[in-house]
Structure 1
Amino acid sequence: MKTLKHYSTIALLLLLCFSCNVKPEAIDYGNDGCHFCKMTIVDKIHAAEIVTKKGKVYKFDATECMINFTEEFDTSEIQLYLSNNYNEPEALIDATQATFIISKNIPSPMGAFLSAFKSEEDAKKVQKEKGGVLYNWEALLAHLKS
């Protein structure tokens, strides 16, 4: 009886450890919907994702939808803010470490003309070609909320 109780406790602990797995999910383009605006996510360059500390994933068709969603969500529960890398479609990058460009020459799904780049160097290369203004995460939040 003690052995059964012991194994049950171990199984319960393992279940708890694996049930709160905090990691991104692949976006199913053409099928997944934006959690904020409800549009189908089709743009492989501008999609975004939030993962909470409990492992719940919210998917967005654009970084601007992700940011707008945070206005109605308890941000202390968020573990990961992710945006697609402009130079590597479908590749999610840490939005809080990314460099963003707002350029009228790079349309995004919701019309904010907002794109994310893994590095400032990559963003500056595109800025030379397409124009626009560069932002880090904090500056972008301040700009979009003003």
Structure 2
Amino acid sequence: MKKTGFLIFVLILVAVLSGCGQPKYQAQPINEATDKCTICNMQVKDDAFAVQLITKEGKTYKFDDLGCMNEWKKQNADAEIGAQFVRDYNNKEWIKYEEATYVYDPSFKSPMAYGIYSFKDKAEAQQFIDSQKKGKLMSAADLAAHSWERNKGMMDMGGDHNKNAHSETNGGMSGGDKGMHGK
């Protein structure tokens, strides 16, 4: 009887400890004073457009627009991604990228003009589409096949969104930004 109790204890201990080895990724707070988009070098605002990605090695990359995160993934296709987070458009709550529902329309304003908004659930996303009378409902899987075109006329500069990075003389993008985005 003692051997059975000990064996059960060991099995429970092994089960508990094996769960401890799984990395727990959490979204990091945005610090507007220091956080810059990894792709376009714009200030990352603590708003509904902030997104981030954490590699399996634990390195966090922050972006000012979902399109910038997509550009980073394209440029770093061999990177092992541990987690990706987006913000709910309504309340800025962090959501896992694959669990969010997205709404796209080229006329929607976003920091780098990709026109994609994130929502924590499909009903809220559909409500937004209905209220705007435009927009396409998308999932994370749908975004994999998305064209990721930018409508530069719809860049949301958001007050102090690092105005120096966007000059009127070159279509709204600084020279460094054009090179980074390849557009």
C-alpha change, 1:118 and 1:75, in structure 2 (3 Å) is farther
Instruction: Confirm whether residue 45 of structure 1 aligns to residue 51 of structure 2.
Output: no
Instruction: Confirm whether residue 71 of structure 1 aligns to residue 105 of structure 2.
Output: no
Give the match for residue 94 of structure 1.
Answer: 96
Distance 1:97 1:144 in 2: 21
Is the CA contact 1:23–1:55 (under 8 Å) kept in the aligned structure 2?
no
- SS of aligned partner of 2:128: helix
- Shift, 1:42, TM fit: 2.0
Give the match for residue 62 of structure 2.
Answer: 59
Amino acid corresponding to residue 42 of structure 1 in structure 2: K
Amino acid corresponding to residue 91 of structure 2 in structure 1: E
Distance 1:126 1:144 in 2: 22
Give the match for residue 110 of structure 2.
Answer: 108
Give the match for residue 138 of structure 1.
Answer: 141
Cα RMSD for the two superposed structures: 2.3
- SS of aligned partner of 1:71: helix
Give the match for residue 31 of structure 2.
Answer: 28
Give the match for residue 83 of structure 1.
Answer: 86
Amino acid corresponding to residue 132 of structure 1 in structure 2: G
Q: Which runs of 4+ in 1 moved over 3 A?
A: none
Distance 1:135 1:75 in 2: 25
- Shift, 1:43, TM fit: 5.6
More strand by share: 1
**Residues paired across the two proteins, number:** 128
Distance 2:114 2:87 in 1: 15
Q: What are the superposed Cα offsets for residues 39-63 of structure 1, whole Å, 9 maximum, x if unpaired?
A: 1112601110001112110000011
Is the CA contact 1:85–1:92 (under 8 Å) kept in the aligned structure 2?
yes
C-alpha change, 1:96 and 1:75, in structure 2 (3 Å) is farther
Q: When the two structures are superposed, what TM-score results if normalisation uses the length of structure 2? A: 0.63
Is the CA contact 1:21–1:54 (under 8 Å) kept in the aligned structure 2?
no
- Shift, 1:92, TM fit: 1.5
